[in-house]
Structure 1
Amino acid sequence: MIQHGKKLTEATRVAILVHGRGSTAHQILSLTDYLKLDDFAVLAPQAAGNTWYPYSFMAARQQNQPFLNQSLSQLHGVVQQAITQGKTSQQLYFFGFSQGACLVLEYTARHAAQYGGIAAFTGGLIGDKLDTNVYTGDFGQTPVLLAASHRDFHVPLARIEESEQILLSMNAKVHKIIAPDTDHTIREEEINWVNNHILA
């Protein structure tokens, strides 16, 4: 894991940045050039082999085991590191892109609480079919961004909408940005929304 920005012991807010498949913790840290994270401690975990789980996020859950559970546990360890330094859930902010966005949504839905904010740049909840029995807690109106293109090669719009309904049922305050392009990327509009509505 890479630590960036303010020291965890000194920062009042913590950003957890989760990279996508084939990427690295170093690469996802480039988001700090665009997001207003100057007063944050930034934590960026690194996936073994640069992937959090081997198959599509919409494959049968068992196909991605034990890697999915290991990755969720790794992310939980990052959260616990912040908690042991006295941080509350409201001081934690999650950001993920692609496979990292899916992992962020899956983790926070399994451990729902009032977080500072969640931004899933092109991602959805994980599994061929979504098992709502594994999702617990109450988001307490945590602001959540779900953003993607209207026709992403990896993340179908239908799964984003299905994820949105589950998050809303868990008392999240969801904002969705669906771009008219087909690019697998993070867009300026998405960054601006996060800066103005989650990080302001």
Structure 2
Amino acid sequence: MSHSINIKTAGQSLEQAKKAIVMIHGRGGSAEDILGMSSYLHVDNFALLAPQAENHTWYPYSFIAPVQENEPWLSSAIDLIDHTVKLALKSGILAENIYFFGFSQGACLTLEYLARHAQRYGGAIAIIGGVIGEEINRNNYKGDFAQTPIFIGTSNPDFHVPLERVEATVSILAQMNANVKLMVYQNAGHSINREEIDLANEFVL
């Protein structure tokens, strides 16, 4: 199975906007839900692009399951993110003006996509996520972020996303020349908090 191309949009039109943000929902969530987060973010003049996963899930198992168990869903999900990014590029928005926001399963997908397609972007915000796979396959990750700001917020402990994987992800992104800021909140639950939104606005947007 694969994801059909279904991208919800809001904010400025791609033709008018100088900047775009790709917003990636979590498991069980929807493109509309994640677009609703934009009211808290400093994205007034952005085109907002939110791809929708089939059946509200990007891949069936945990992000730290063996990769082959999550295929072909995972590759299809990454392709859909790439398609979304290319829509913005085709409309004339530069990669350095493309931003990302992902939560939970969407944060994992955001970080995996970025690590596989590193270049200078506007920035990225990933709340509770890490790169995908039982083992980290460093060979998949190439390129230079040229100091793209990436903010990662997480809870410790988090039932779905072990802190150790988040820290390993930070280390990979930093080695690829990203400017990464990690905030770990004790017992914060699987949610987005006010401070994360403030830091996302200040550090990335």
Provide TM-score, normalisation by structure 2.
0.96
Q: 107, 128, 152: which one pairs with 2:113?
A: 107
- Aligned position for 1:120: 126
- Aligned position for 2:4: none
- Aligned position for 2:9: 3
Does residue 67 (structure 1) correspond to residue 73 (structure 2)? The answer is yes
Cα deviation, residue 198, structure 1: 1.3
SS in 2 for 1:106: helix
5+ residue gaps in structure 2?
1-6
CA distance in 2, matches of 1:155, 1:181: 13
- Aligned position for 2:160: 154
Q: 156, 165, 171: which one pairs with 1:165?
A: 171
Aligned 8 A contact 2:151 2:203 in 1: no
Q: Deviations over 1:39-60 (max 9, x none)?
A: 1000000000100000000000
Matches within 5 A, 1:1-200: 1-199=7-205
CA distance in 2, matches of 1:130, 1:152: 19
CA distance in 1, matches of 2:151, 2:170: 9
Runs (4 or more) in structure 1 with deviation over 4 Å come to none
Provide TM-score, normalisation by structure 1.
0.98
**Structure 2 counterpart of 1:10, which letter?**
Q
Cα deviation, residue 86, structure 1: 1.2
Cα deviation, residue 12, structure 1: 0.7
Q: Deviations over 1:113-143 (max 9, x none)?
A: 1110011100000000100100111000000
Cα deviation, residue 182, structure 1: 3.9
Cα deviation, residue 18, structure 1: 0.2
Q: Considering only aligned residues, what root-mean-square deviation do their CA atoms show, in Å? A: 0.6
**Structure 2 counterpart of 1:25, which letter?**
A
**Structure 2 counterpart of 1:51, which letter?**
T
Number of residue pairs matched? 199
Identity %: 46
Q: Deviations over 1:157-177 (max 9, x none)?
A: 000000011001000000001
Cα deviation, residue 196, structure 1: 1.1
5+ residue gaps in structure 1?
none
